[in-house]
Amino acid sequence: MKKLLALLLVGAALGAAFAYVHSTEPGWYVRIRYPLHYQTIVRGHARNYHLDPALLAAVIYQESKFRAHARSSSGAIGLMQLLPGTAKGIAVHTGGSRFRVADLDDPEINVRYGSWYLRHLLDKYGDERTALAAYNAGQQNVDTWREQGKGIAFAETRAYVKRVEHLKTLYRRGYGDQLVLSG
């Protein structure tokens, strides 16, 4: 009986410790739970497009969990879950002469296009929340909501924006020194 009680107490203590770590999400825990793959690519494109690297990492994690060959049911591809039509337009805007859908499986190209698009949305809308809403729900939806004087109309998009903003905070906490832009 004493052994059972001891095991229960140890289990309760471990459960309490895990709950504390999970709720406070210290840097070491963030690094275990939320990977930061392709650091050089993330930092490089964040620098090139004047983006917060923690924001860029947060969008990538939310979109694909850093899986380079991720596919969505809507046809979005790669790390930043770009639709081929959107990516083709970005390729034209950034000086590309030929676009292939297979290019979106290349982490460097996918993050370059996604970074350009995120910068475009930030410039167009002037604030991060609206830009993230447009990244998730599309510019046409956001433009309609704004014309109608509404906020973000889709619950899924509100949750997306909130989640990316939380992830940005986590990536800063867990990888702050690795996400600093140099030069």
Catalytic residues, by residue number, are: 63
% pLDDT > 70, the chain: 87
What global pTM score does this model have? 0.87
Residue 97, classified by CB atoms within 10 Å of its CB into exposed (0-12), middle (13-18) or buried (19+), is exposed
Three-state secondary structure call for residue 77: strand
What CATH number has the domain spanning 36-179? 1.10.530.10
pLDDT tens readout for residues 101-130: 999 999 999 999 999 999 999 999 999 999
pLDDT digits (tens, 9 = 90+) for 15-45: 554 554 455 677 788 899 999 999 999 999 9
The domain ranges of the chain are 1-33, 36-179
Q: What is the pLDDT of residue 176?
A: 85
